[in-house]
Amino acid sequence: MPYTKIIGGEVFRHDGASLAEQQRSVAQKFTRNARLLQWVEEMVDLCRPDIVHWCDGSTLEYDFLSALMVETGTYIKLDEVKRPNSYFCRSDPADVARVEDRTFICSQRPEDAGPTNNWRNPAEMRHLLHNLFEGSMQGRTMYIIPYSMGPIGSPIAKIGIEITDSPYVVCNMHIMTRVGRNVLEVLGDDGDFCRGLHSVGVPLGKEQPDSAWPCNPASRHIVHFPETREIMSFGSGYGGNALLGKKCFALRIASAMARDEGWLAEHMLILKLTPPAGDPVRKDPIYVAGAFPSACGKTNLAMMTPALPGWKVETVGDDIAWMKFDPSDGRLHAINPEAGFFGVAPGTSMTSNPNAMATITADSIFTNVALTGDGDVWWEEMTPTPPPYLVDWLRRHWHPESGRKAAHANARFTTRASRCPVIAPEWEDPRGVPISAILFGGRRASVVPLVIESLSWQHGVFLGSIMASEKTAAAAGKVGVLRRDPMAMLPFCGYHMGDYFAHWLKMGQATTPDKLPRIFHVNWFRKDAQGKFLWPGYGDNARVLKWIYDRVQAGKADKAESMTPTAIGGLPAPGALDLSDLNIAPDAMGELMAINAQGWLNELPLIREHFAQFGSQLPQGLRDELVALEQRLRKAL
Ligand code: OXD
Ligand code: MN
């Protein structure tokens, strides 16, 4: 397909000496921002692409690049009737997920990255990356993607520029962020932006054919320079390694910006919860933000269909929240900086998440799922019975008897948030939505009850700081292997987590206590002694949300009687949790709500160990909370 015919004049070919000149004249049609123009020129010199393409975010551009990828074998177009305007893509089997051990934070001082990040000396890393990127785009097109994280022009939004040599990245960024010329208009002549440089790391020789998924696993580096707001990613084309707006900018770089500027960049979903029409005491909707470790059903919760009649959940975001105190009302306002969902496909079904299923009926990209014989997609649990024949994500014939998974466990769909049938109408409100409650969700088979209300902001931050997933099912009284993931930010905090906790504590002073969101810890994953889940989860989680609604809506329900204070925090008072028509084992509620004082006491040494790694940067407020918890537990025994 002759490239220059498709896009109206903003694409040009390298023809020897005139490359720099051509690039300059095209670039100036897009922007007069001197910093941006200079950076792009430097990167063209460094990476030496054959073609430079300034992205305008148009449908024409998306369609052109999709068609290009069909031609090169990266994409297969799905059946136009079954899955309109959608594409199927298989990555290299060595490039299927975020690579945390190849992810680096390069602050000047190692103590600013902290013990939970891979720190590297920035000067040494720049030198290494310079060598890797040198000539890395030869034979390829360099795409310049101007994108906004958050509604364009929102006071909470930020601008990034990603330079990449992957058309797959461009198409995914079209869906996951807001790409286009209007971003450059907002950037203006002297606005600043987060620089992101990305290459799959496979330069092409003259006659060398490309592979369907070029990548360079041996040289993978996902590198962040939080002090200069820069990202450099080499060798991987997959997900969070390559779509730099998501984890790299919106969490790792943005968390450092948020610390410096006094706001919060969090790994949180945002949902709108509306009580039934005609409820005599419950009237207004509330907005809830929630942090859960990766693969704990955040997308499902954000799009949930409540099991309680009349209650409604609508989605503002499913993965990331940027939150700022709004001077006009003193409340914490949140935006979803993303424009799409990059959701885990396996497990998504009409039972677990019908709204996600409706979102992906068209206009979507499916990566590393399985392909059906009639040009559609399938993954484990999508339907109760698998199709009789598939091509699996590794391009092999697959039958239900094959005895192996057809889709990769981290297979993904990329789809626009605006396609979601339960997207909240205000999801793009530039002011954001006021948050009434923050959920920290662990994945705990034992000890931790279904829901705990924090005793104060500081106690809530403490509960977030000890969030954990339990790997193995607990036998009676025993705790499985715990992986602490404070605020679900362990892989995503761009600076020292001790300082991050201190920042959270400081944010509690940014407004009056009555304006602060109330913090809760939830745990949908308690198991019984036989290893079976005690709580049904999914739509029944609305029962917990309803209780939270009543707890935060002062005057709307009888607050004092809905909560019982305990050693570990506030629990629903007897009868306060709506269990109407709940199908659950007779003893389950007792277990889900039990205060296991001895179990918590047994865990204190583990919390101390977890806290010890943060050294002197662990804020005193969290030490105080630990001491206070121990005292309350001993008293309770
Ligand atoms: C994600 C993750 O992909 O948290 O959202 O890993
Ligand atoms: Mn996530």
Distance 418 CA to ligand 2 centre (A): 19
| Residue in 89, 194, 215, 296 annotated catalytic | 296
pLDDT score for 24: 79
Count the Cβ atoms, other than its own, within 10 Å of residue 589.
Answer: 18
Q: How far is CA 627 from CA 59, 461, 526, 565, 596, in A?
A: 58, 15, 26, 18, 18
Distance 183 CA to ligand 1 centre (A): 26
Q: Is the pLDDT of residue 303 over 50?
A: yes
pLDDT score for 547: 97
Distance 341 CA to ligand 1 centre (A): 10
pLDDT-wise least confident of 87-96, 173-182, 343-352, 469-478: 469-478
Query: What 3-state DSSP class applies to 429?
Result: coil
Q: How far is CA 232 from CA 6, 45, 131, 171, 242, in A?
A: 30, 16, 12, 19, 9
The residue assigned the tokens 């364009």 is: 152
At residue 7 the predicted structure's pLDDT band, cuts being 50, 70 and 90, is: very low
pLDDT score for 278: 94
Q: And the tokens for 287?
A: 């907005």
pLDDT score for 142: 95
Task: Please choose, from the candidates 609, 617, 501, 492, the residue with its C-alpha nearest in 3D space to the C-alpha of residue 110.
Answer: 617
At residue 134 the predicted structure's pLDDT band, cuts being 50, 70 and 90, is: very high
Task: Please choose, from the candidates 451, 419, 478, the residue with its C-alpha nearest in 3D space to the C-alpha of residue 542.
Answer: 451
pLDDT-wise least confident of 89-93, 236-240, 295-299, 424-428: 295-299
* Residue 294 beta carbon below 6 angstroms from any ligand 1 atom: yes
Name the β-bridge partners of 221: 234
Residue 597 region by backbone torsions, left for phi larger than 0, else alpha for psi between -120 and 50, else beta: alpha
* Residue 319 beta carbon below 6 angstroms from any ligand 1 atom: yes
Judged by its nearest atom, the ligand closest to the C-alpha of residue 345 is 1
Query: What 3-state DSSP class applies to 121?
Result: coil
For 575-584, letters b (16+ CB in 10 Å) and e give ebbbeeeeee
- Decide if 234 contacts 242 (C-beta within 8 A): no
State the Cα–Cα distance between residues 273 and 592, nearest whole angstrom.
Answer: 23
Best substitution site from 319, 414, 415, 490 to test ligand 1's pocket, by max atoms within 8 Å of Cβ? 319
Q: Is the pLDDT of residue 4 over 50?
A: no
Task: Please choose, from the candidates 245, 285, 251, 252, the residue with its C-alpha nearest in 3D space to the C-alpha of residue 268.
Answer: 251
At residue 472 the predicted structure's pLDDT band, cuts being 50, 70 and 90, is: low
Contacts of 588 (CB under 8 A, 6+ apart): 528, 534, 535
Q: Is the pLDDT of residue 144 over 50?
A: yes
Distance 303 CA to ligand 1 centre (A): 16
At residue 90 the predicted structure's pLDDT band, cuts being 50, 70 and 90, is: very high
Query: How does pLDDT run across 148-199, given as a tens digit for each residue?
Result: 999 998 999 999 999 999 999 999 999 999 999 999 999 999 999 999 999 9
Q: And the tokens for 544?
A: 């917990």
State the Cα–Cα distance between residues 12 and 25, nearest whole angstrom.
Answer: 10
Q: And the tokens for 44?
A: 């063209």
- Atom 4, ligand 1: residue with shortest CA distance: 294
The residue assigned the tokens 């000539």 is: 135
Q: And the tokens for 342?
A: 């990059």
Query: How does pLDDT run across 249-284, given as a tens digit for each residue?
Result: 999 999 999 999 999 999 999 999 999 999 999 999
Of ligand 1's listed atoms, the one at least distance from the Cα of 98 is 6
Query: What 3-state DSSP class applies to 158?
Result: strand
Query: How does pLDDT run across 310-336, given as a tens digit for each residue?
Result: 999 999 999 999 999 999 999 999 999
What's the topology of domain 4-71+96-261? Answer: Phosphoenolpyruvate Carboxykinase; domain 1 (3.40.449)
State the Cα–Cα distance between residues 223 and 202, nearest whole angstrom.
Answer: 18
Of ligand 1's listed atoms, the one at least distance from the Cα of 492 is 4
Domain ranges, ordered by start, for the chain: 4-71+96-261, 265-340+424-636, 341-419
Query: What 3-state DSSP class applies to 270?
Result: strand
Count the Cβ atoms, other than its own, within 10 Å of residue 9.
Answer: 8
- Decide if 343 contacts 51 (C-beta within 8 A): no
* Residue 625 beta carbon below 6 angstroms from any ligand 1 atom: no
pLDDT score for 473: 53
CATH number for the segment(s) 265-340+424-636? 3.90.228.20
Name the β-bridge partners of 325: 332
* Residue 338 beta carbon below 6 angstroms from any ligand 1 atom: no
Query: How does pLDDT run across 583-617, given as a tens digit for each residue?
Result: 888 799 999 999 999 999 999 999 999 999 999 99
Contacts of 566 (CB under 8 A, 6+ apart): 595, 636
Contacts of 111 (CB under 8 A, 6+ apart): 496, 617
Distance 71 CA to ligand 1 centre (A): 30
Global pTM reads: 0.96
Q: In angstroms, what is the C-alpha Rg of the chain?
A: 25
Judged by its nearest atom, the ligand closest to the C-alpha of residue 243 is 1
Q: What are phi and psi of 83, to 5 degrees?
A: -145, 75
pLDDT score for 583: 87
At residue 8 the predicted structure's pLDDT band, cuts being 50, 70 and 90, is: very low
Name the β-bridge partners of 397: 391
Protein residues placing their CB within 5 Å of the ion ligand 2: 319
Higher-scoring residue by pLDDT: 24, 143: 143
What is the residue-averaged pLDDT of the chain?
94
What's the topology of domain 341-419? Answer: Phosphoenolpyruvate Carboxykinase; domain 2 (2.170.8)
- Decide if 545 contacts 524 (C-beta within 8 A): no
Judged by its nearest atom, the ligand closest to the C-alpha of residue 412 is 1
- Atom 1, ligand 1: residue with shortest CA distance: 294
Please, where are the H alpha helices in 451-587?
Answer: 457-465, 497-507, 541-552
Best substitution site from 96, 172, 247, 341 to test ligand 1's pocket, by max atoms within 8 Å of Cβ? 247
State the Cα–Cα distance between residues 562 and 543, nearest whole angstrom.
Answer: 13
Distance 291 CA to ligand 2 centre (A): 9
Cite the beta strand spans of 560-614 per DSSP E: 563-566, 569-572
pLDDT score for 470: 84
Higher-scoring residue by pLDDT: 297, 450: 450
Higher-scoring residue by pLDDT: 452, 27: 452
The residue assigned the tokens 């969030």 is: 467
Cite the beta strand spans of 150-282 per DSSP E: 158-164, 178-179, 194-199, 221-225, 230-234, 264-266, 268-274
- Atom 6, ligand 1: residue with shortest CA distance: 294
Q: And the tokens for 465?
A: 């700081």
pLDDT score for 135: 97
* Residue 61 beta carbon below 6 angstroms from any ligand 1 atom: no
Q: Report the relative pairing of strands 11-13 and 321-325 from DSSP bridges.
A: unpaired
Query: How does pLDDT run across 498-554, given as a tens digit for each residue?
Result: 999 999 999 999 999 999 999 999 999 999 988 899 999 999 999 999 999 999 996
Does the annotation count 194 as an active-site position? no
Count the Cβ atoms, other than its own, within 10 Å of residue 553.
Answer: 18
